[in-house]
């Protein structure tokens, strides 16, 4: 299996997991861009948001619900956070397995680069 996030989902590569269930895994980003930087991925391999299908609509919703849950669990919900899904080349996606970033713990600038 060549996809690095599939390997994390299968426990073949270690990650600092903060939450998981039968559909998603949430773990700390290896190169954090904020004091809290967590990635939420589906267990199933989905290349990107653009490549997802209507059969995966509930899964997409569950990814956002997981972000909300993890933000509360890590104590950043009150101050706020940013949820980012980089998609494709122009979107800056570097890992070809759908993931939502949860960034928090400091005021975040806007617009992004």
- Beta partners for residue 39, in sequence order: 27, 101
List of residues 6+ apart from 19 with CB closer than 8 A: 25, 26, 66, 69, 70, 73
Q: From Zn ion, ligand 5GP, none, which one binds at residue 54 (CB under 5 to 8 Å depending on kind)?
A: none
Which residues are part of the catalytic machinery? 99
Give whichever of 64 and 78 is closer to ligand 5GP, judged by the CB atom.
64
* d(C-alpha 52, C-alpha 48), whole Å: 6
**10 vs 78 by CB, closer to ligand 5GP:** 10
The binding site for ligand 5GP (CB under 6 A) comprises: 4, 13, 15, 27, 29-31, 39, 86, 92-95
């Amino acid at each position: 299996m060549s996809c690095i996030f599939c390997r994390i989902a299968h426990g073949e590569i270690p990650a600092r997991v903060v939450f998981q269930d039968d559909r998603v895994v949430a773990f700390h980003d290896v190169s954090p861009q904020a004091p809290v930087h967590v990635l939420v991925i589906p267990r199933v391999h989905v290349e990107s948001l653009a490549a997802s299908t209507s059969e995966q609509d509930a899964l997409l919703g569950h990814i956002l619900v997981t972000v909300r849950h993890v933000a509360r669990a890590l104590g950043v919900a009150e101050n706020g956070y940013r949820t980012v899904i980089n998609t494709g080349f122009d979107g800056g996606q570097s890992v070809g397995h759908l993931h939502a970033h949860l960034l928090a713990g400091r005021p975040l600038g806007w617009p992004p680069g």
